[in-house]
Amino acid sequence: MTAIAPPPAAALHDCRDAWIATLVELAAEDSRIVVVVNDSVGSSKLGPFQDAFPDRLVNVGIAEQDMVGVGAGLANGGKVPFVSAAACFLTARAMEQIKVDAAYSQHHIVLVGQSPGMAYGELGPTHHSIEDLAWLRTIPGLTVIVPSDRVETAQAIRWAAGAGSPVYVRVSRMGVPDVMPEGYRFQPGRAVELHAGSDVTIVATGTTVSRALEAAGSLADDGVSARVLAMPTIKPLDGPALLAAARETAGIVTVEEALTSGLGGAVAEYLAPRHPTRMRFVGVPDTFAPTGSVGWLMDHFGISPAGIAAAALEVVAAR
Other Cβ atoms less than 10 A from the Cβ of 125: the count is 17
DSSP state of 176: B
Helix (H) or strand (E) holding 82: strand 80-86
x/- contact string, 6-45, with other proteins (CB under 8 A)?
----------------------------x-x---------
Q: Which residues pair with 259 in a beta bridge?
A: 284
Please, which of residues 153-182 interact with other proteins by CB under 8 A?
none
State whether residue 88 is helix, strand or coil. helix
Closest listed residue to residue 207, CA positions, set 279, 136, 121, 269: 121
Query: DSSP string of 140-175?
Result: TT-EEE---SHHHHHHHHHHHHT-SS-EEEEE--S-
CB of 187 to other proteins, least distance (A): 25
Looking at residue 29, its amino acid is E
Number of H helices, E strands in the chain: 12, 12
- Looking at beta carbons only, is 73 or 302 nearer to other proteins? 73
Rule CB under 8 A: say whether 268 interacts with other proteins: no
State whether residue 110 is helix, strand or coil. strand
Choice from 22, 97, 143, 210 touching other proteins (CB under 8 A): 97
Choice from 104, 125, 163, 268 touching other proteins (CB under 8 A): 104
How far apart are the C-alpha atoms of 117 and 133, rounded to whole Å? 9
CB of 73 to other proteins, least distance (A): 2
Stretch that binds other proteins, among 77-85, 129-137, 153-161, 266-274 (CB under 8 A): 77-85
Please, which of residues 44-73 interact with other proteins by CB under 8 A?
55-56, 58, 60-61, 63, 65-66, 68-73
Stretch that binds other proteins, among 75-83, 178-186, 215-223, 243-251 (CB under 8 A): 75-83
CB of 67 to other proteins, least distance (A): 8
Please, which of residues 108-127 interact with other proteins by CB under 8 A?
none
Quick check: 180 and 192 in contact, CB under 8 A?
A: yes
Residues engaged in binding other proteins (CB under 8 A) = 34, 36, 55-56, 58, 60-61, 63, 65-66, 68-79, 81, 96-97, 100-101, 104-106
